[in-house]
Chain A
Amino acid sequence: MSTPAESTRSVVIEKVFPHPPEKIWRALTENALIAQWLMKNDFEPEVGRKFQFRFDPVQGWDGVIDCQVLIVDPLNRLSYTWGSMGLESVVLFTLTPAEGGTHVRMEQSGFRPDQQQAYGGAKYGWQKFLGALEQVLGGLK
């Protein structure tokens, strides 16, 4: 059922849940329900809304994930930024009807492109950077 896939550029988790998209969408977008499976939050399904996920703090980390809603496409797609420890990533949920239920795909990636002008005039987003260093990273595994 579960087909986890990882690369050096993104984290992808996919699963078919034996439930209709409407029910899954509620679990992804109602903050009381989100708290039951993901974590405490003040999410609202409005594009541009800033919100936080809160974990119990640990030494050296306040337990806060700073987010902003990017996409609210009911029953189809939900996306928000996920900022933690100086690294901002993007989380995207995609719902697709599947036999016997709904296919849910979560991808955390797309490290946002930088706004500032980069070294040598080039734009070095995280994604490009990690892609370029894939071999280096691969050597660590």
Chain B
Amino acid sequence: MVCAVNPAHANPVFRALADPTRRAIFEKLSRQGEQTVHALTRYAGVSQPAVSKHLTVLKRAKLVRHRREGRETHYRARPDALAPVVDWLRHYGAFWRDRFDRLEELLERMEG
């Protein structure tokens, strides 16, 4: 049994969300809907280039999408990109149930 949730798909999402600032940005977009880079920067208290960099990583992981309107760029969350995280939980649920069955078999074989 392979212990991996299609790592090729899960990895960019986990990597993108391994950073707390990116998680917070993603969470804000998920809760409050579309935001401009300026609004996110005000909330962040970090520089706009830093926020833009984080948004690029989130975009690569397909966690956010953007659109331009005039001089502003608007970002919004793509929660369906979280599916690998949900898969991770489901995967480990199945994994541990299988391993508990094997543990039971081992205990039967052991002395004492």
Contact = CB atoms under 8 A, between A and B. Distances in A.
Interface of A: 2, 4, 6-8, 10-11, 13, 15, 17, 19, 22-24, 26-27, 33, 36-39, 55-56, 58-61, 63, 65, 84-87, 104, 106, 108, 114, 116-126, 129-130, 132-133, 136-137, 139-141
A81 to B, nearest CB: 14
Interface residues of B, number: 48
A33 B102 CA distance: 11
Given A17-B104, A33-B106, A11 B89 contact: yes
B105 to A, nearest CB: 7
Nearest to B40: A119
A60 B8 contact: yes
Interface centre among B14, B20, B96 (most CB of A within 10 A): B20
Given A15-B100, A119-B46, A129-B27, A55 B11 contact: no
Contacts of B15: 86
21 contacts: A8-B89, A11-B92, A15-B100, A19-B107, A24-B107, A27-B106, A36-B106, A37-B103, A55-B3, A58-B2, A63-B3, A86-B14, A119-B21, A119-B25, A120-B45, A123-B20, A124-B24, A129-B23, A133-B82, A137-B85, A137-B86
